[in-house]
Structures are given as C-alpha cells and as structure tokens.
Amino acid sequence: MGSSRLKRSRNAALAATVVATAVGLSSVPATAEPAGTATDAQKQLKELGRQAEELTEVYKKAQDDHTKRQDELARANADAEQAARTTADAQAEEERFRGQVDQFVHASYQGARMSKLSALLVSESPDEFLDRSSALDVLAHDNDDAVTKLADATAQAQRGEQQARSAHERATRAEADAARLEGEIAGKKEEMDAQIAKVKEQYESLSEHEQDSLSGGGSKMGSLIGSGAAIKAVNAALSKQGSPYVFGAKGPSQFDCSGLVQWSFKQAGVSLPSSTQSQISEGEKVSQSEMKPGDVIFFYSSGSHDGIYLGNGKMVHAPTEGQTVTVEEVKYMGEINSVRRFAG
C-alpha cells in the first residue's frame, strides 16, 4: 500500500504539463507537451486545472484587496485621531492668542493712551518719551505677533477639522469595501474549492500509463552565484525544489505559483502581494529580450501563472496539482503576458 502510494506520488510529481494556468487557452507556458497524443482524460484534466488555477488567483486577489482595504481603514482611523489631536491643540492656541488680542482691543476701546502722540503729550522729558515709545513698540509687536499666531492657529484648526472629516470619509469607504470583499471571498473560495476537487478527482481517475505519459522535463539546479535581492529571491525559490504544489499555498513547505514568488521575494526583503493578478501590477515592466535572473514571468492573458527567471532560458516555478517546485525551460514565449522586475 505504501509502495503504491509512493509510486503514485512520484508519478504525480512528474506531471509538469497537465495543468496550465488560464481558462480557454491551449498552450502550456513553461512545460513540455505530453509524449504522443493526449487522451481525452488528460485533456480534461488540463482544462480543469487551468480553471482551478485561475479561480485560485482570483480568490487570492480578493484576499489581497481585502487586506489593502483593512490597511486603508487602519490608516484612515489613525489619520482621523491625529487630525483630532491637531485640531484640539490648534483650538487651545487659538483661545490663548484670542485672549491676548481681545485684551489689546479692550484697552484701546477703553481709551488707553497707546499712540506715540499721546506718549509725547504726557511725557515730561525726551528720555521719558523714548521710554514710552519703546514700550509702545513692544506692545505693538506683541499684539501683531498675537494676531498672527491667532490667525495661524485658526487656520490650523480649520485644516485639522477638514482632515478629520476626510479621514472619516475614507474610513467609512474602506470599511464598506472590506465588508463587501469579505462577503465575496467566501463565495470565491467555495467556487475555487469545488474546482480543485474536480482536478484531484480527474487526476486520480487517470490510468497509471496516462499519469506516466504526463511526465515533464523538470530538473534540479543549484544556487546562482551573485548578490542583490533578485539573486537572493532566485536562490530562495531554488531551495524549495521538490516542495509539493498545493492550490493557494504560500509556503514555507507547500506552494502554488504565486505563493512561491511571494515567499521567495520575502526572503530577499521584498514585499509582494499573494496573487498573480496583484503581483503583475508591481515592480518594473521589462521586455523579454531584457530578462535577467530574478525577473518574474507571467503567462496568459489572465496572467494567472508565474515563475522566476533563472537565465539561459530557464525558470523555477510551482507548476500544478500533483507536481513539485521545479526548474524548466521557458517555452512557448508567445504565451508570456508580462515580465516584471521587483528587485535589482
């Protein structure tokens, strides 16, 4: 029983070409075609696998979006709290300087002799006049300073109130979006799980000969020599050769394609979202002719499969259900959707 299970696992690990990554496409992005003509059962497995991987990436994209909205909600709430503190401080300053200005206005209204003409008229000597004039200059300067600070504090309080309102509006939108996405995620996961179950059932229904005929051209490869985050990500991925493919897995011992990319770059200090549909919008777009080790290749119009380029026409990726992380040649270049560079 154990020997049979081990043999089936080994055969499954060789099936690098059975499942591509997008719905409705017929070419396999980075694997060898099965030897001979594929049976109807193999073709059905390939199509089911494509659908399952695309649904997985849609599900993971919804998770990425949900995380973003939660982060936005947290930032908006923090901004609102900071704006409230700023407003309170500005209002306190406003009241303090308003009191100084009011005192000056009140003194003038009561007929206080605050002009230099009055100082001249009441002074009994030139020195007394100069002293009175200097005092008036100080008072005038203090009043001007108080008026300026009052205006600044008032403007700051108004800005704080506006920022608080804006932050609260952002928080309300983010909270509503997060709730909506949370509801969508449950439905997407149910759909994904149902499709994955079909893939597993179809694979188990294949004869041993059919499973054997699905063997791919994967190979083992040692670490690359070099430095920088891109090479670190490459070597992190290469260190996981032989780890099993699991739909939606993000490591450290099981992976799907985007999970391997995300985990590998995380080891190099580069943060990426978890889905191909989110990853494909990150980093710098480069042409196929400019590819270098560490660049990430996305396949098909949906961009639902990716792998890390190694140079010399090879890539490391997590292929599909029943297989393991492996190194393969990048074939069918026409199916490449995009190449992104996340690190140097």
Catalytic residues: 257, 305, 317
CA distance 303 to 336: 8
CA distance 325 to 339: 20
| Dihedral sign computed on CA atoms, order 278, 282, 286, 288 | negative
Q: Which two tokens mark 317?
A: 């990726």
| Dihedral sign computed on CA atoms, order 41, 42, 48, 49 | positive
| Dihedral sign computed on CA atoms, order 202, 206, 210, 215 | positive
Ordered alpha helix ranges (H), the chain? 2-13, 40-109, 116-122, 126-205, 208-213, 229-238, 257-267, 276-279
198-207 LR contacts (CB < 8 Å, sep 24+): 198/48, 198/52, 199/19, 199/45, 199/48, 199/49, 199/52, 199/321, 200/321, 202/41, 202/44, 202/45, 202/48, 203/12, 203/15, 203/18, 203/45, 203/321, 203/322, 205/41, 206/41, 206/42, 206/45
CA distance 312 to 289: 12
Tell me how crowded residue 140 is: count the other CB atoms within 10 A of its CB.
13
CA distance 197 to 190: 11
Contact call for residues 181 and 69 (beta carbons, < 8 A):
yes
Q: Which two tokens mark 86?
A: 């700023």
User: For residue 204, how far is the Cα from the chain centroid?
Assistant: 37
Closest CA to 238 of 260, 206, 211, 259: 260
User: For residue 190, how far is the Cα from the chain centroid?
Assistant: 24
